[in-house]
Chain A
Amino acid sequence: MFKDLDPILHSQLRLAVMSLLIGVKEAEFTFIKEKTGSTAGNLSVQISKLKDAGYVDVLKQFKDNYPQTICKITPQGVTAFETYVKALQTYLPK
């Protein structure tokens, strides 16, 4: 039986962000931008959506007098990601 896919995660950039963050403890915004090849504006909007869903924590601070944004996956985000992957598996041919 096919399971419903989480609409928050089932979009290219948001899924890319979550897949990156699942593999690291935390990452700078510039790191995510570089690895996903997205624009800063679009990435910012998608990270905000993930934050609103409670899937990522966003910490804004200063490093060497420059603003720095750090993103971290939350336990709720990890659970949502795992559920999404399990749901995806039901769509794969056996």
Chain B
Amino acid sequence: MEEKQLTEQESLQLIQQMISRAKNNFVDTGIGPILWGAVISFCSIVQFLIIHFQWHLPFDVWILALAAIIPQIFISVRERRERKAKGWDDDIMSYVWLCFGIGVFIVNFLNNVAADAVNPLLNDYREITGKENIPNFWTYGSSYLLFVYGYPTIVTGAARKFKLMTVGGIVCWVSALISAFTITKFDFLLMAVSAALAWLIPGIVLRSNYLKGKNEQHV
């Protein structure tokens, strides 16, 4: 591009062209959503199978979700390093997902505290009344988690104008409502479907768009 005077029409075209080029830079690599979508879906399906077939694993499958934080840190650091421009909403999005991560831990902690307090009472009540179909606290625990899953997903989908992710977030909220009426093992199936629709599938689409854009740049 050379230093030259422009006509008014050329100026407007140039402004549009450059704004569009800057916008195209903010394409997510999709690795983060794929990682979390795959891990949460996998853990949920395994948890469903554990309950359904009464398996006894030597470890808690959800440790995988905890372990996934390590590659996520590497992914975030690498993406930050490779990014040559920072968008206006980048910091906001980072805070949204950081709050989500902390929120998941808080909800899990509160669920465990509530389950420890409520489940013995429900067990006693079940023994006294002889009613076998009294649910335990965990029947509702996953509803809160699904609600938390939906929140940042909808915000990100709406902010980045990525409908597939917004729909995935709405599926999380619908699943949260449904899970209040289903037994625990089916809650985990709902969680698997929600994580796949909210993160895994949108992540695959983002990844494919990212790779396509990268290839076009090198042609």
Q: What are the interface flags for A6-25 relative to B under an 8 Å C-beta threshold, 1 for contact and 0 otherwise?
A: 00001111111001101111
Give, as a whole number of angstroms, the nearest-CB distance from B83 to chain A.
Answer: 9
Task: Please report A residues at the B interface, Cβ cutoff 8 Å.
Answer: 5, 10-16, 19-20, 22-28, 30-31, 34-38, 42, 46, 64, 85, 88, 91-92
- B-side contacts of A91, CB under 8 Å: 8
Q: Within B76-131, which residues are at the interface with A (CB < 8 Å)?
A: 81, 84-88, 90-91
Q: What are the interface flags for B1-34 relative to A under an 8 Å C-beta threshold, 1 for contact and 0 otherwise?
A: 1111110101110110111011101000000000
> How many Å lie between the Cα of A38 and that of B25 in the bound state?
18
Which residue on B lies nearest to A81, using beta carbons?
B15
- A-side contacts of B15, CB under 8 Å: 15, 19, 85
Given contacts A38-B1, A88-B12, contact A19 B19 (CB under 8 A): yes
Which residue on A lies nearest to B4, using beta carbons?
A12
CB–CB A25/B88 < 8 A: yes
| Given A13-B3, A27-B86: 10 more A-B contacts, CB < 8 Å | A11-B3, A11-B6, A12-B1, A12-B10, A19-B17, A19-B18, A24-B87, A24-B88, A31-B85, A42-B1
Given contacts A24-B88, A31-B25, A31-B85, contact A15 B6 (CB under 8 A): yes
- B-side contacts of A27, CB under 8 Å: 22, 84-86
Return the contact of B86 from the options A16, A24, A64 (Cβ within 8 A).
Answer: A24
> How many Å lie between the Cα of A14 and that of B41 in the bound state?
49
Give, as a whole number of angstroms, the nearest-CB distance from B161 to chain A.
Answer: 15
Determine chain A's interface SS by DSSP, over half rule.
helix
> How many Å lie between the Cα of A91 and that of B7 in the bound state?
10
Task: Please report B residues at the A interface, Cβ cutoff 8 Å.
Answer: 1-6, 8, 10-12, 14-15, 17-19, 21-23, 25, 81, 84-88, 90-91
CB–CB B85/A16 < 8 A: no
> How many Å lie between the Cα of A77 and that of B17 in the bound state?
19
> How many Å lie between the Cα of A43 and that of B58 in the bound state?
62
Give, as a whole number of angstroms, the nearest-CB distance from A8 to chain B.
Answer: 12
CB–CB B8/A92 < 8 A: yes
Which residue on B lies nearest to A22, using beta carbons?
B19
> How many Å lie between the Cα of A23 and that of B85 in the bound state?
10
> How many Å lie between the Cα of A38 and that of B1 in the bound state?
5
CB–CB B22/A20 < 8 A: yes
Q: Nearest 7 CB-CB pairs, A to B?
A: A19-B18, A23-B22, A31-B84, A27-B85, A91-B8, A28-B84, A38-B1
Q: Pick from B10, B11, B81 the residue with the most CB of A within 10 Å.
A: B11
Give, as a whole number of angstroms, the nearest-CB distance from A4 to chain B.
Answer: 12
CB–CB B86/A26 < 8 A: yes
